[in-house]
Structure 1
Amino acid sequence: MTDDPALPPAKSWQMPDTLLILFTLAVLAWAATWLFTPGHFALAGDPARIVPGSFIAAAGPSPAPIMGGEARTGFIDFLFAGLVTGDRNSAAIGLMAFIIVLGGVFGMVMKTGAIDAALQSALPGGKARNETLIIALCIAFSLAGAVFGMSEEAIALTLLLAPALTRAGYDAVTAVLVCYGSSQIGFATSWMNPFSVIVAQSIAGLAPLSGLEVRAVLWLGFTLAAALFVARHARAVRLGERARIGTLGEAAADAPAMAFTFAHKLVLLSVIAGVGWVAWGVSTRGYYLPEIAAQFFAVGIATAAIAHLGRIQGARVHAMVDAFREGAAQLLPAALVVGAAKGILLILGGDDPARASLLNTLLDSLSSLTAAMPEWLTAWTMFMVQSLINLFIASGSGQASVTMPIMAPLADLSGVTRQTAVLAFQLGDGFTDLVNPTSAVLMACLAAARIGFGEWLAFIWRPVLGLIALSSVVMVAAHLGGY
């Protein structure tokens, strides 16, 4: 198995798991309570925001115990405390339940094979005459990344798409750009991704889907630019103007096609209708995490009913229940990350700016640094910091849980809006995954397409620099426009 060219090369060292990183941070947080002095801020306005320059330090350090209680979280109970903090609307319990429910629902949708069948029905059987289909596929995958944060699914779809595009005269890089690259574009510029935007906005105290108009425009602009770039590369490869990258075996090229049935169409329509229902509920009824989770669960029920009545192969009732369980299980690590991150904040004294906490001390120190730079530069720096952190915490929800409790109040102190701070997280979390060697999804997609990481990096580094440059312009414009 180690000689299989489809597998990434063995490594003597790999990036630690996100939970291990969080445990290390918990150790450092506990140690910090013995060394540094907590403090609090004054609040004003509606909603209440930190008053700049109002920080008051406590008399001295307030060490956290080994095992805490109701009054104070200790070191060895930080995970439990983080998991049980809050209520159904909070950025802890409510957010974790939301993530698990959505993971189960989208597990059911993927189990029907509707997305796979739709793609196969659109794939060309021979030489393509133009790249219109490539553009359409890029838009579709970007939409999937924007709507439900398609990630691991890109691996299976790369296996599906790469042989078909090769038969049509393209190369393996085209398949990775379409599947993984486009989904990351949608992920980074989404207006409603439940695993990044909604998580970050919930932690930052913003309404879910707020600011969606600007994000929708960004999604459209970045998606069209990316689709045209991919189409240009695909055309150059098809016409022989550019060398092919990657090779595929004959067995993969002979993969059987899947019929796109009427039931599959109904599944996709139910998902689209569900997304529209969520947008209506949030914008007109003020729906929050419990209601949005319930809406998506209704989509899951409709999907299961369609799969049963439509006799979709391998997606009968018991199989759909298993798919829900497996999909929820795949998102359980993300929920644990949210709880662990909350527990770390509790070790530090919590995230209430009006109560003594080391987080407030950290914010006061960071605000002193940002006070020496222009506000637009602070907004851009937030984006670059998030891009760097993404190399260590590849999980979108995990990165939001770790960074947004700091970035949101820091934005208040630095003259940057919280919406702009969330945008900095989005763009920083999404684009660097295109070159992140610690991203399991990227490495698996490259292996599925028989592309070495060195080959991929030699090709993609210029487009990624272009995305970073465009994102930098967006961040400065967002701040100057008061977004």
Structure 2
Amino acid sequence: MTIKDSTLMSQADSKSKKSMNPVIILLLVVLAAVLMTYFLDSGKFERNGKLIVPGTYQVLEKSVSPVNLINIYPQKEAAHAVSLLDALVSIPEAINKQSGMIFMVLFIGGMFGVLNKVGAIETGLERMLSATKGNVYILVPAMMIIFSMGSTFMGMAKEYLLVIPMVVAMANRMGMSSLIGLAIVAIPVKVGYLASITNPYALSIAQPLVGVPVFSGMGMRIFVYVVLMIIGILYVLRSIKKEAKNNTIEMSWDSAKLPTRHTWVLLTLAVGIGFLVYASQTWHWKYNELSAYYLSLGILFAIVGGLTANETVDAFVSGMKKVLIAGVLIGLATAVAILLSKGQILDTIIHSLASVVGENNSNLAAYGMFFSQLLIDVAIPSTSGQAAVTMPILGPLGQLAGVDPHTTVLAFLMGNGATNIITPTSSGLLIFLATAQVGWGQWARYIFPFFLIIILCAMAFLSLSLAVYG
């Protein structure tokens, strides 16, 4: 690495360190939730089970005093402004409540740790590069499709960090900038999250919270994936055409046959994804079953990949550490919902949003959900954390406005994914930028037109989803 390269990497790392930790952001959201219980009316809807009965909202009387903020005694009133002690207690309460979800996320991370240790994905990518012989119109679309499949089916994102330097180097050898190399990886990964065909990080959390089976409504998400991938590929190829002097270049990639073990690992992964979809749809697996499945896959990858017991455990624990922050964010996000519920202002928020949107205007409601997610994602870029905060609100809001739960989930996916492709508060994006040695300003200027295209497409997708699901 040259001195210039080291300087660029140090600058990128410095920018990443200066960004606010998402835990701090969510702690501020927790504090905001406490204050909201003092400034918003308490109220409630009548419910039929978990479903809100429209038109039944009523305001509740409550005593609001600044003294309540430092109250150290449990408050027995039906409606009350919560204290700082309530806020602290809500955090372990939330972690306990969402323990199944948190362990599922940790086991997903462990599974990916084992998969990365085996090295099958990286080797398979290298053989694919050799097969295309450097033809940019075959090479780039093929790579983007493979990267997108990992994110849209399995929720992979940071797992591509080791791939980014290789793709950037390939782009440089073809006469293109590091920005294009980053785009070849980042755009399909973000599009994969936008569609989330079977992405467990998004769907295993968001869909149960609105009362639909995990991975249901897949047809619409496949359509979203195909359309956005076509647009994404064309966007990158257009950029390449501007930069590259020669669109077809012969390169000396390793053309050796894919190792037998890696072939079997990749086949196991493909079969595992298919069975996951079938089992979740057929047996309605919950968090405990999903956690056990991801643990089993990790062990299976290790056996097929030839890892020792120690290597497997080390890789699994290392993978869990990488996603530990997601578990913390889920706990903090759920604490917000608990505080809103204790202060009995959650129904007030739902009622206010429904009043603005209109209970019978499903199109306007769907668009409102999408744009609200765009804004919320700036403060809470975590997909799982944002789902835990917003789905309990958007689900009932969708019911009141006549929006099907699958469209509500789609609005969440579109809003969360669109902002994450450009927002500087996204730790995942900043890590991508640092690895590729690309500045955020440079990336923002490049990706902004694509960001606008996503917004327009998202509105069209939501209208189509309303027509399909009613």
Q: Note the C-alpha offset of 1:143.
A: 0.5
For the residues of structure 2 that align with 1:257 and 1:17, how far apart are their CA atoms?
A: 43
Residue 410 in 1 paired to residue 397 in 2?
A: yes
For the residues of structure 1 that align with 2:15 and 2:115, how far apart are their CA atoms?
A: 35
Q: Note the C-alpha offset of 1:458.
A: 2.4
1:18-417 maps to which residues of 2 (within 5 A)? Answer: 18-44=22-48, 48-61=50-63, 66=72, 68=74, 74-85=86-97, 92-124=98-130, 128-239=134-245, 260-308=258-306, 315-349=307-341, 357-371=344-358, 374-417=361-404
Q: How many residues align?
A: 453
- Partner AA of 1:103 in structure 2: G
Q: Give unpaired runs (5+ residues) of structure 2.
A: none
- Partner AA of 1:297 in structure 2: L
- Partner AA of 1:360 in structure 2: D
Alignment partner, residue 480 of structure 1: 467
For the residues of structure 2 that align with 1:13 and 1:319, how far apart are their CA atoms?
A: 31
Contact 1:36 1:60 in 2 (8 A): no
Q: Note the C-alpha offset of 1:68.
A: 4.8
For the residues of structure 1 that align with 2:51 and 2:150, how far apart are their CA atoms?
A: 35
Alignment partner, residue 5 of structure 1: 8
Residue 429 in 1 paired to residue 431 in 2?
A: no
Root-mean-square deviation (Å): 3.0
For the residues of structure 2 that align with 1:377 and 1:300, how far apart are their CA atoms?
A: 44
For the residues of structure 1 that align with 2:351 and 2:387, how far apart are their CA atoms?
A: 21
Contact 1:139 1:224 in 2 (8 A): no
More helix by percentage: 2
Q: Note the C-alpha offset of 1:299.
A: 1.1
Q: Note the C-alpha offset of 1:448.
A: 3.0
- Partner AA of 2:91 in structure 1: L
For the residues of structure 2 that align with 1:471 and 1:348, how far apart are their CA atoms?
A: 30
CA-to-aligned-CA distance 1:275-327 (integer Å, 9 cap, x gap): 1111111222222222222222221111111222xxxxxx4331221111111
- Partner AA of 1:441 in structure 2: G
Q: Secondary structure at the match of 1:57?
A: strand
Q: Give unpaired runs (5+ residues) of structure 1.
A: 86-91, 242-252, 309-314, 351-355
Does the C-alpha gap of structure 1 residues 154 and 258 become closer, same or farther in structure 2, counting only changes over 3 Å? Answer: farther
CA-to-aligned-CA distance 1:192-236 (integer Å, 9 cap, x gap): 111112211122222101111211222122223322332343345
Residue 447 in 1 paired to residue 434 in 2?
A: yes
TM-score, normalised by the number of residues in structure 1: 0.85
Contact 1:39 1:357 in 2 (8 A): yes
For the residues of structure 2 that align with 1:171 and 1:258, how far apart are their CA atoms?
A: 28
For the residues of structure 1 that align with 2:243 and 2:132, how far apart are their CA atoms?
A: 15
Q: Note the C-alpha offset of 1:83.
A: 1.2
- Partner AA of 1:220 in structure 2: V
